[in-house]
Amino acid sequence: MRKFRCKRICRPKVTIKDLDRRPPSYADRWAPMLAGNGCSGCMACAEVCPTGAIAFNNSGQILFKHDACIACRACTDLCEPGVLILGPGIGGAVTRSELSYVGSTDKASADEPAIRPLKTPGPSKTIKIFAKSMHVREVDCGSCNACELEIAAISNPVYDAERFGISFVASPRHADVLFVTGSVTRQMELALNKTMAATPSPKLVVAVGACACSGGLFGNTQFAGAGVDASIKVDIYIPGCPPSPRAILSSIRGLQRGTITRSEHDHSR
């Protein structure tokens, strides 16, 4: 009876086993990628991108900055050879440079992957301090509310984050982890700093969504900042506009199991 109910409520996609088996980089289709060779290097995608998430360098490589990508699909709609498609993006990462991927515009050899990370993650220290119990405080610093809705969704009966020991708390004083969304607007910066100060150490900061990772569409103006790491140190970046509940959960699961590692640093300064 119990098994039946569980199946009925939970879509088969997101059972615990599946989440654990899935690499932490899993996210549902939201980022542009090269689906093979044949990119003509016309740079139309880089020109149309409203957030500058696609760039070309001198050696004929195409650079995808997943921290800035809002998956608006302006580039994939425009791609003349049709090799730029919206594919599975990447999930959480510990530095912004790990969110950048390169692809080759030349006719590369068939066994070379169409896109690969710009930088291989350097040596970093695995931490699992909140592996079994993670209390999260969410701080909205200027998102469009889609990220909040998706974060709230991970604690609904379908995704049920509580089964992984993840629960949302009402005060930063009770929190281990801060989920920060939005590009940090001018008028929220003070509130974010106060929330950060009120959270006891050790703590982790997770930037959720494109705005939090890079400033996103509206960032880098006098009103909206350049992302969370312009104000406070960020431990995990979860890109997406918005990242789906699955992407958020799998990234957090990666952190809990130590498959997302983070370099050692101290928030207590």
Partner 1 sequence: MATTKCIRNTEDIMRVILGNTNEYHGEAREIVTDSELAFLPELALGIVEKLNGTLQFIFAEDNRSQNNAFSLHHVFSIPSHRCMLHVMSEIPADTPEFPSLALRLPSANWHERKIADMLGLTPVGHPDPRRLVLHEDWPEGLYPWRTDFDQTQAVPRVEGTYMFHKIDGEGVFEIPVGPVHAGIIEPGHFRFSSVGEKILYLELRLFYKHRGIERFMEGRSLLEGAIAAERISGDETIANAVAYSQAVERALGLAIPERAKRLRAVLLELERTHCHLADIGGAVTDVAFAVGAAKAAILREKVLDLCERISGSRFMRGMIVPGGLRRDLNNRAVLQVANFIEVELCAVQELESSIFSRSSIVDRFTRTGSLSAEHALKLGVVGPIARASGVPVDARINYPYGFYTMYPLGLITRSEGDVASRVKLKFDEIRQSLAVIKAALDGIEQGAIYGDDEATIIHSQALGWVEAPRGQAICWVEITETSKIAQCRWRTPSFSNWPALPLALQGDIVPDFPLVNKSFNLSYAGNDL
- CA distances to 10, 29, 63, 145 from 18, in Å: 12, 17, 31, 28
Q: Answer yes or no whether residue 72 interacts with partner 1 by CB under 8 A.
A: yes
Q: Compute the least distance from the CB of residue 157 to partner 1, in Å.
A: 5
- Window 97-136: residues binding partner 1 (CB under 8 A): none
Among 19, 139, 232, 236, binds partner 1 (CB under 8 A): 139
* Cβ proximity to partner 1, 94 vs 212, nearer residue: 212
Strand partners, 236: 206
* Cβ proximity to partner 1, 182 vs 254, nearer residue: 182
Q: Answer yes or no whether residue 197 interacts with partner 1 by CB under 8 A.
A: no
Q: Answer yes or no whether residue 217 interacts with partner 1 by CB under 8 A.
A: yes
Q: Compute the least distance from the CB of residue 37 to partner 1, in Å.
A: 24
Among 95, 104, 231, 244, binds partner 1 (CB under 8 A): 244
- Joined together, the tokens standing for residue 136 give 């999260």
d(CA 19, CA 255): 13
Bridging pattern class, strands 134-140 and 177-181: parallel
d(CA 165, CA 157): 14
Strand ranges across the sheet with 204-208: 166-168, 134-140, 177-181, 204-208, 236-238
Q: Answer yes or no whether residue 193 interacts with partner 1 by CB under 8 A.
A: no
Q: Answer yes or no whether residue 183 interacts with partner 1 by CB under 8 A.
A: yes
Helices (H), ranges, the chain: 2-9, 16-21, 44-48, 74-78, 146-153, 189-198, 210-214, 245-257
Q: Using CB under 8 A as the criterion, which residues of the chain lie in contact with partner 1 when the complex forms?
A: 9, 11, 28-30, 48, 50, 70-74, 77, 86, 138-153, 156-158, 168, 170-172, 182-183, 185-188, 191, 195, 216-218, 221-224, 241-242, 244
